[in-house]
Amino acid sequence: MRRPKNLLLRCAAVLAAGLAFSFAASGPAGAAGPQPVSPSELSKATDAARSSDALSLLGKAGGTAKAATSVARDTHPIYALNPAFVRDASAPVATFWYAATSAAQGGRTLTVFTAPDDQGDWHAVNVASGNTEARMVSAAAGALVFTEPQIGAWYAVSGTQVRPLNQSAVKSIGAKPITITAYQELVAHRYADKLPGTQYNESGMAGGYDATASTSTSTTARSTNHHVAAIAAATGVLALVLLLLARRRYND
């Protein structure tokens, strides 16, 4: 399904601000996981997921116009692989990416994404089909959930171990948990030459994807590739915001 261009651009602007927020609040060096998002901030995220802006995004999600819409009050922080961790095992393994709140519309399961802007105010920035985040949080059984978006892998961090949560993660690290150290060695090998400042990044590649090449997702995704490249310059291997959203949204 083709999605409004202005919605994708808004995702780029606000999620880029959210990523900047995550680096500032990623926790002390040497920690396996990032500093958790506080309950008060998650409450703000929930409010944003139930705001008029969020309902407007839900209204554009492709369902029946008059279908009843409900948004849960249970919001989960979602983290993503930390570029600093790729360089240095003493850095937190992941940083905050966005908050996910489940929603329902006319029998369809959806997820509302929220993120803080540079002032710390939370906004609804995207609506995704399905409930991937909620399923991964449930599978993590209380452990911190993070994703390696470049390969679609989801993991749980417990103490000094990384545990796979989906098939992509199993393909990445195997079926059993591995140590944080072993995971750092793996991602360092996988991404160290693709971080900001490397020739790979400077040549226009964004975390493994050519930001100038067309994709098979939609004409909207293709028309916004230059926005992906702009974010990539600032956020390195986690700069797949629009490509990731375009691949998953409405295709879950």
pLDDT of residue 252: 45
pLDDT along the chain (252 residues), means of 10: 40 43 40 82 97 92 73 95 94 96 92 96 96 97 95 95 97 97 96 63 39 26 26 35 41 41
CA angle 26, 28, 34 (to 5 degrees): 40
3-class state of residue 124 by DSSP: strand
pLDDT of residue 193: 78
**Core vs surface per residue 25-37: b (16+ CB within 10 A) or e:** bbbeeeebbbeeb
pLDDT of residue 141: 95
Q: What CA–CA distances, in Å, run from 3 to 63, 80, 91, 218, 219?
A: 13, 24, 37, 8, 9
Provide the 8-state DSSP code for 36: P
pLDDT of residue 6: 40
Provide the 8-state DSSP code for 40: H
Single pTM value for the model: 0.70
Token pair recorded at residue 67: 């279908």
